[in-house]
Structure 1
């Protein structure tokens, strides 16, 4: 299977290549290395538990610092997805931009979602995990290994299959 996906593993967008550079910079090479708390600390971002909608905002006491407030009622996989999404906003969009128009907000939300996908489920880490499973087992295996919601793992796996198909590889696994 490795030979079939090697082309699909290469970054295909600016955002994907930047996230992979971020992973390399922080020596993140295995799913268990994706420690969002440590990554946030590296950028001076505090994580706060709240009861309510997760969000990123300027730190109330420290200038030029930010907070990611995460709904503590979420499961661990859902929390990881929210933290990665909000981290994407802070790293890509330079913090909060409250006066953006509808179109800009939609674009920023899409970018933050893609950032979270690339950060939490980087394709190069898929190969050792998927080498000995069926395509039907793959999403739940990825969700477990990367500690993300099954829906996110399914979406990311479907994108991998789409890339393989677009590269002309038969998706018969």
Structure 2
């Protein structure tokens, strides 16, 4: 899926940088979405492979036809050019709780990070970690099936 810009209502603008974290410049989203974005921001600091994320610019748009919010990401890796503002994955309802919003945002961001040549998040044993919702909690799952709550990733594994 490619950008919706100028076709749907913009409901958030924000950016993320490793040293500063997330900066929301404007939002019309419920608090649950902002809390989810904070958790996602934490995990962007760790477990990158094949390139370091320098910054991400975000725009979220509301699609009134489906009632979904889509987080579009423009990802830039160190030494690379800025990726285009885009998304690929699935949106979440504007009324969803923080866990469902987070699952959607992480899916959308993870794909765009991969588009610029960086794997994130990277598991201890190697390979991408995948998204899942376990007992209503958004988690990263590694290939062994071990889960970590999104927002709780720690030190980067050895490369």
The TM-score range, normalised by the shorter chain, is: 0.3 to 0.5
Which protein is bigger by CA-based radius of gyration? 1
Which has a greater percent of strand?
2
